[in-house]
Amino acid sequence: MYGLEAISAHNGWAMALAGALIVFSGLVVLWAVISQLHKILKIWDKKQPLLPEDLDPDIEDEPEDAPLISLPKELPSDINEVAKLYKPLIDEIGDTFYLSSLYAIAKKNEFPHPHITLSAFRECEIMIPHGDGVFSWNQPEENEKG
Amino acid sequence: MELLFQFLSNTGYYLADYRQIIMIVVGTVFVYLGTAKEYEPLLLVPIGFGILVGNVPFFKGFGLGIYESNSVLHYLYFGVTTGLYPSIVFLGLGAMTDFSSLLARPILMLLGAAAQMGIFFTLLGALALGFLPKEAASIAIIGGADGPTSIFLTAKLAPHLIGPIAIAAYSYMALIPVIQPPIMRLLTTRKERIIHMPELREVSKKEKVVFPAVGVLLCCFLAPASIPLLGTFFFGNFLKECGVADRLAQTARTAIIDTATIFLGFTVGASTQGDVFLTAKSIGIFFLGAVAFSIATASGVIFAKIMNLFLKDKINPLLGAAGVSAVPGSAREVHLVGQSEDPTNYLLMHAMACNSSGVIGSAICAGILWSFMIVL
């Protein structure tokens, strides 16, 4: 049996329609919940702490949350100079790292436009990709010496 | 002398069949693409080498072939036929996945849902071409562009098709740079492709810890048949985010997923013995796989355009193409197409959000299809 006849005989139309609706409704519900998640957690936070660090309100003032370096008002135009500013962050997360980790720590330290900078590092081979979002740091000074 | 002739008649040179030679050529191409061209090497190298091993001619009855019940390869293949390896791969995948971008922009989850439409269109196409419902469901899941999910569902519904379906799914994942960009360009205008996405908000640690628990409950309550995939996926992600099991998360995303990937790829490759693989059905599966993957890509892009009709802050429709669950290949391709139009356009993080949603969506689809087929 082939064609529309086969689809109807095997209940194909109903399966496709129901399947599409179920997966869509499932992800819509998940979207609705996670879009409100941060608001729910804020309300929850006001009532009681969830994670151990919340027990100590001073934890946010600890030095490890403070920016690792002080930044100039504008980043230098030379990408190698910018790379030097990023070096303390690399020392913090290790020479082999996830792109998302470097992005997060750069944002935490208030580096301007980290996504554009990281993209430039990739193009200049200051960051070497190893697949699956893992990169290693290729120090510019070493490049020049090599 | 008789002993020598007997030995020679048992060698691969004597027993070779033209179908095995064809498959050995296919395996060689896979290994070449994986090593020399670096196309998805972590997938193509084990599969390609597995094809070479699986197609060495041998004397039947010695317990050598993957389909002979007492062979070593058959025991390794057990992890495929039971759905064990895909489940383990999902554990590692969960431990690798960062949901920050999805949590920061949850609406992108809808693009992951839209891209699953390819699966259901292909289900109809496969039924129309004469495949049985269980076979059609296994073929349709290729549209999710998720190798482990395809293998898992096929192992449950149509184990005799694991070889062609796995090879088709992984081939199309490796061919993302060839298949997706033309569809993306065809369905979008330049003006749409240069839409910049706003920087994502900071996501709190608590959100990331709570999400896997919420996700597993909502998804698995809806489609309990997806527990073997989504249960381990969200568990792996919880290990990563909870902050007290870093050692376990590290092992899950390195040694465990690598081990499962090696055996999964190698045994799936070895299962493509020429005599069972080179059939008219395999050609149909490859054709439908391409259709499924293309429709999935197009569905995501078109749905993003439809969303833009109602949204104040427009979404770059290219992101819809990352709604398939080929992580991170399709996200990378969306980013590259966006950058080819405007080098300052940085879409990777947003595309990863759609990709993560696609993984969840295709696993739910697998669960739904499996449930439908149980009642047939």
Backbone angles phi, psi at A134, to 5 degrees: -95, 135
- pLDDT value at residue A119: 82
- pLDDT value at residue A60: 47
Those residues of chain A that have pLDDT short of 50 are 57-62, 64, 142-146
Closest chain A residue to B210, measured at CA: A37
Alpha carbons within 13 A on the beta-carbon side of B325:
31
Tokens of A78: 């030379």
Residue B214 contacts A, CB cutoff 8 Å: yes
pLDDT at B316 over 90: yes
Decide if B359 contacts B91 (C-beta within 8 A): no
- pLDDT value at residue A85: 85
Within 133-192 of B, beta carbons closer than 8 Å to A belong to: 133, 136
Decide if B126 contacts B136 (C-beta within 8 A): yes
Closest chain A residue to B357, measured at CA: A27
**β-strand partners of B338:** none
Within 236-255 of B, beta carbons closer than 8 Å to A belong to: 243
- pLDDT value at residue B143: 86
Decide if B63 contacts B50 (C-beta within 8 A): no
User: How near does any CA of chain B get to the CA of A142, in Å?
Assistant: 27
- pLDDT value at residue B180: 93
Q: Can you tell me the mean pLDDT for B256-277?
A: 91
Within 323-342 of B, beta carbons closer than 8 Å to A belong to: 328, 339
pLDDT at B98 over 70: yes
| Euclidean distance between CA atoms B362 and A19, whole angstroms | 11
| ∠ Cα B311 B316 B321 (to 5°) | 115
Going by their DSSP bridges, the two strands A127-129 and A96-98 should be labelled as unpaired
Helix axis angle for B41-54 and B257-270, nearest 10°, is: 40
- Of how many residues is chain B composed? 376
List the helix and strand counts (H, then E) for chain B. 22, 0
- pLDDT value at residue A75: 72
> Which residues from chain A sit within 8 angstroms of residue B213, using beta carbons?
none
Helix axis angle for A79-93 and A114-123, nearest 10°, is: 100
Candidates B106, B138, B165; CA nearest to B315 is B106
Q: What is the DSSP letter of B24?
A: H
Interchain contact, B107 vs A35, CB within 8 Å:
yes
Q: Please, which pLDDT band fits residue B199 given cuts at 50, 70 and 90?
A: confident
Query: In this predicted structure, which of A78-82, B109-113, B156-160, B282-286 has the lowest mean pLDDT?
Result: A78-82
Q: What is the pLDDT of residues A87-126, one digit of tens each?
A: 888 888 888 888 888 888 888 888 887 888 888 888 888 8
Strand, coil or helix: what is B68?
A: coil
Interchain contact, B130 vs A6, CB within 8 Å:
yes
- When CB atoms are compared, the residue of B199, B222, B376 closest to A26 is B222
Conformation bin of residue B183: beta by default, left when phi > 0, alpha when psi is -120 to 50: alpha
Q: Can you tell me the mean pLDDT for B100-104?
A: 92
The ranges assigned to domains in chain B are 78-193+200-254+279-374
Q: Can you tell me the mean pLDDT for B138-167?
A: 90
Give the count of beta carbons closer than 10 Å to the beta carbon of residue A56.
Answer: 11
Q: Please, which pLDDT band fits residue B123 given cuts at 50, 70 and 90?
A: very high
- pLDDT value at residue A144: 43
Tokens of B10: 């048992």
- pLDDT value at residue A72: 67
- Mutation choice for A interface testing from B111, B201, B206, B209 by most A CBs within 10 A: B206
pLDDT at B259 over 80: yes
Burial call B274-290: b when 16+ CB within 10 Å, e when fewer = bebbbeebbebbbebbb
* Radius of gyration, CA atoms only, chain A: 25
Q: What is the pLDDT of residues B206-238, one digit of tens each?
A: 999 999 999 999 999 999 999 999 999 999 999
Lateral strand order in the sheet of A96-98: A96-98, A134-137, A127-129
> Which residues from chain A sit within 8 angstroms of residue B107, using beta carbons?
31, 35
Q: Please, which pLDDT band fits residue B305 given cuts at 50, 70 and 90?
A: very high
- pLDDT value at residue A62: 47
Interchain contact, A12 vs B123, CB within 8 Å:
yes
Q: What is the pLDDT of residues B54-63, one digit of tens each?
A: 999 888 777 8
> Which residues from chain A sit within 8 angstroms of residue B242, using beta carbons?
none
Average of per-residue pLDDT values in chain B: 91
User: How near does any CA of chain A get to the CA of B51, in Å?
Assistant: 24
- Mutation choice for B interface testing from A1, A5, A13, A15 by most B CBs within 10 A: A15
* Radius of gyration, CA atoms only, chain B: 21
Q: Can you tell me the mean pLDDT for B28-38?
A: 91
| Euclidean distance between CA atoms B299 and A23, whole angstroms | 14
Size of interface A-B (CB pairs under 8 A): 140
Distances (CA, A) of B325 to A90, A141, B18, B147, B230: 30, 39, 36, 9, 13
